[in-house]
Amino acid sequence: MIKAKIDDLAIFGAAPAFQRKLHVGCPNIGRRESFFRRLNDLLDKRLLTNNGPLVQEFEEGIARLTGARHCIAMCNATTGLEIAARALELKGEVIVPSFTFIATVHSLKWQEITPVFCDIDPATHNIDPKKAEALITPRTTGILGVHLWGRPCNIEALAEIADRYKLKLFFDAAHAFGCSFKRRMIGNFGEAEVLSFHATKFLNTFEGGAVLTNNDILAKKIRLMKNFGFVGYDRVAYIGENGKMSEVSAAMGLSGLEAMDDFVAANTLNYKEYVKGLSGLPGVSMVRYDESEKCNFQYIVLEIDEEFGHIDRDSLMNVLWSENILARRYFYPGCHRQEPYRSDPLWEGLKLPETEKISERVILLPTGTNINPDDARIICQIIRLAIEHACVVRERLAKMSDAEKQQFGTY
């Protein structure tokens, strides 16, 4: 539904712009016919897990696409991070950004590695290499970078620091499958890079992940560790856990790989519509991608600056939610301000100014194959109306009763 004037907004009693709810990270569905063909085949063969042929085919496809020497499929990316850290023999302290999904940090803490929270570069939202270097102590054994929004970290600066201080460098590349850095695909940097194929990612295996590495010895260790340390049928040679991807997950991943170009094309069209629709809007800056590089365009990320737009991020969220546009504030309020970290004396009172500022301003909008550029255009119109009439919108939100907020489904 087109929203042309302020009275058309749902918070003033109009019908929502969308009858269906538009989610951030709504799953993309690949080639259904090939998925069901593979599903029937694996059921007929009764090969459900334990490094079956579909998992092997999926690993080969990911390795071929990225150019990485080894792809080890995992049940999820969190397990991939845990196993990678264990295989790298990390201990003591590992430097990690706070502006990331909590699993990045939990994967370290779960193994009794102390996460050392680093602030970000406000221009990229990625870990700031200079600030990371300043955090190195005799107990530091590694740096875990995060390629946020699919935009690679300053890999070269981090690699130089890691090399100079003899640290292990690896990456949470959950957002960055199909992306490149200086024409080289993500999956080829550091000791290892960990992908996510969770349902919310642009290519999914229902649940899943993978570790990519060009290190033959590390790859062998990770393969052992993800399967209880088994070598052969009944001999255990190493400590391990169950990190295996199932065959049905691999079937979903393969059907997604077949449709991957379609997913990227849909994301790209939506991204360009958002860029056009939000250009020049005061108080709104959109995270832009380097279109000379490979990119999946899977996130539409805005920063809302109340000083210039006269509306804060959470108020804009309420406007959007009332229209069934379920925008999200990602990584709020920063991992260092989540439990168990914020109340631990080790991190209590920790201030990360850039992380805290960005976490108060970032908002993500729907994209993917569940919406189209016309939908994106309507979302942009709503944001424009809210900002152009910011004072009136703020007054209305302030006067809304709890019952009205529940009725409108506001955030």
Dump pLDDT digits (tens) for 117-140.
999 999 999 999 999 999 999 999
End-to-end CA distance of the chain: 21
pTM as predicted: 0.95
Q: Which CATH architecture has domain 32-258?
A: 3-Layer(aba) Sandwich (3.40)
CA 114 to chain centre: 22
pLDDT value of residue 409: 60
User: In whole angstroms, what is the distance from residue 150 CA to residue 296 CA?
Assistant: 7
144: its two tokens: 């875990």
pLDDT value of residue 274: 98
Average pLDDT value for the chain = 96
pLDDT tens digit sequence for 50-88 = 999 999 999 999 999 999 999 999 999 999 999 999 999
pLDDT tens digit sequence for 188-215 = 999 999 999 999 999 999 999 999 999 9
pLDDT tens digit sequence for 136-178 = 999 999 999 999 999 999 999 999 999 999 999 999 999 999 9
- Residue 1: pLDDT band with limits 50, 70, 90: confident
| Burial of 114 from C-beta contacts in 10 A (0-12 / 13-18 / 19+) | middle
Q: Write down the domain spans for the chain.
A: 6-27+260-327+366-408, 32-258
- Cβ neighbours of residue 106 closer than 8 Å, sequence gap 6 or more: 78
User: In whole angstroms, what is the distance from residue 153 CA to residue 159 CA?
Assistant: 10
pLDDT tens digit sequence for 335-375 = 999 999 999 999 988 999 999 999 999 999 999 999 999 99
User: In whole angstroms, what is the distance from residue 130 CA to residue 133 CA?
Assistant: 5
Q: Which of the following CATH numbers is that of domain 6-27+260-327+366-408: 3.40.640.10, 3.90.1150.10, 3.40.50.300, 3.40.50.1110?
A: 3.90.1150.10
pLDDT tens digit sequence for 281-294 = 999 999 999 999 99
Over residues 25-36, mean pLDDT: 97
